[in-house]
Amino acid sequence: MKAFIVERYGRATGLRAAEVPEPELRDDDVLVEINAASVNLLDAKIRNGEFKLILPYRSPFTLGHDVAGKVVRVGLNVQRFKPGDEVYARPRDGRVGTFAEFIAIDEADVAMKPNNLTMEEAASIPLVGLTAWQALIDRANLKKGQIILIHAGSGGVGTFAIQLAKHLGATVATTTSTANVELVRSLGADVVIDYKKQDFGKVLSGYDVVLNSLDGDTLHRSVNVLKPGGKLISISGPPDGAFAREQGLNWFLRQAMRFLSFGIRRKANSRHVSYSFLFMRANGDQLSEIASLIESGIIRPVVDRVFPFEATNEALAYVEAGRSKGKVVVKVI
């Protein structure tokens, strides 16, 4: 089958189009013919080698974390899916590879595709949808009446998180550029900070939750936005000791991550707020709940551009440039 693979880590090498064997189907797997896959900044970071200590893939390996497609075969133990089902998923770490024509995925990571979305729209959802769900519901326990700041509201996670937070009954503030103010307002943002004109740290205060996906400077300034007891959740790092323990990393890496997060944890503690790093995990049951919200019209996908499969490297470069509104998708079929 055709696939885009990482032969060696590094930005300059890019992804190489290659012919690779069709994936092996395990007893708990579904084999999915891929219609579309979305592109995430995580793909670029893995290609560059930024996660090789945490996610030690053996090259060459196929990249890609989001998929929508059709089940063509199922393993012996599979109960929830059958050939012909239209599904979507974020395969678990260690088994990614959606920049390809087929992928084998553990059925626990898979859900039926929202029936009101195209394959391209459905492929845009899993990683950002699960990230927002796990940040706002699992980690923040966001409640009706609380106030949350979601950074980068026009990005992939931001566009989803704004809508989910509004559904949960929160008041939502977000940061974005001038060009995207109307977009985030249309998604439900109550307070919009145009970072080209305003400093969010001087405008906002007393917040319950901040969801950060930006750089370290933004992360540190976000502490001051929170009220005592507030929660600062970052999906862009730095990783902390709790994450290292969850990943089962060795003592050296656990200490390294405690060191990396020492500054922000100390600052958070001084303000009586909590800091945590979130690294999304695959979860088919949560994707099923997300599909229900989409089918009910509560959440809608935001897709910036769709690239043909052969232009996967160009799609990745476009995401790296940081100017996409919502998600970027690669159409395989």
Banded pLDDT at 28 (limits 50, 70, 90): very high
CATH placement of domain 2-124+301-331: 3.90.180.10
Q: What is the pLDDT of residues 163-172, one digit of tens each?
A: 999 999 999 9
Banded pLDDT at 75 (limits 50, 70, 90): very high
Torsion of CA 140, 141, 146, 149, to 10 degrees: 30
Distance (Å, rounded) from C-alpha 203 to C-alpha 63? 40
CATH placement of domain 127-277: 3.40.50.720
Torsion of CA 101, 112, 158, 249, to 10 degrees: -70
Q: Are 188 and 233 in contact (CB under 8 A)?
A: no
pLDDT at 232: 98
Asked if pLDDT for residue 215 goes beyond 90, the answer is yes
**Distance from the Cα of residue 160 to its chain's centroid:** 10
pLDDT at 248: 87
Q: Average pLDDT of 232-238?
A: 95
Asked if pLDDT for residue 220 goes beyond 90, the answer is yes
Banded pLDDT at 13 (limits 50, 70, 90): confident
The answer to which of 56-60, 95-99, 181-185 has the lowest mean pLDDT is 56-60
Distance (Å, rounded) from C-alpha 165 to C-alpha 276? 19
The domain spans of the chain are: 2-124+301-331, 127-277
Asked if pLDDT for residue 217 goes beyond 90, the answer is yes
pLDDT at 54: 85
Give the burial class of 224: count Cβ atoms within 10 A of its Cβ; 0-12 exposed, 13-18 middle, 19 or more buried: middle
Banded pLDDT at 103 (limits 50, 70, 90): very high
Share the mean pLDDT of the chain.
96
Residue closest to 236 by CA, chosen among 271, 196, 279 = 279
Residue 252 sits at φ, ψ, to 5 deg, of -60, -45
pLDDT at 23: 97
Give the three-class secondary structure for 226: strand
Q: What is the pLDDT of residues 264-285, one digit of tens each?
A: 999 999 999 999 999 999 999 9
**Which residues have CB under 8 Å from 58's CB, separation 6+?**
none
pLDDT at 53: 83
Q: Are 183 and 325 in contact (CB under 8 A)?
A: yes
pLDDT at 6: 97
pLDDT at 249: 85
Asked if pLDDT for residue 246 goes beyond 90, the answer is no
Asked if pLDDT for residue 74 goes beyond 90, the answer is yes
Residue 259: CB atoms within 10 A of its CB come to 11
Residue closest to 278 by CA, chosen among 192, 210, 188 = 210
Q: What is the pLDDT of residues 39-72, one digit of tens each?
A: 999 999 999 999 888 888 999 999 999 999 999 9
Percent of the chain with pLDDT strictly greater than 70: 100
The answer to which of 28-37, 147-156, 243-252, 312-321 has the lowest mean pLDDT is 243-252
Which pTM does this prediction carry?
0.97
Asked if pLDDT for residue 328 goes beyond 90, the answer is yes
pLDDT at 227: 98
Residue closest to 227 by CA, chosen among 151, 147, 122 = 147
Q: Average pLDDT of 297-325?
A: 96
**Distance from the Cα of residue 307 to its chain's centroid:** 19
Helix 126-133 × helix 156-167 angle, to 10°: 50
Percent of the chain with pLDDT strictly greater than 90: 89
pLDDT at 12: 81
How are the residues of the chain apportioned to helix, strand and coil, as percentages rounded to the nearest 5?
A: 35, 25, 40
Q: Are 109 and 130 in contact (CB under 8 A)?
A: no
**Which residues have CB under 8 Å from 42's CB, separation 6+?**
51, 65, 127
Q: Quick one: CA dihedral 67, 68, 73, 79, positive or negative? A: positive
Q: Are 333 and 70 in contact (CB under 8 A)?
A: no
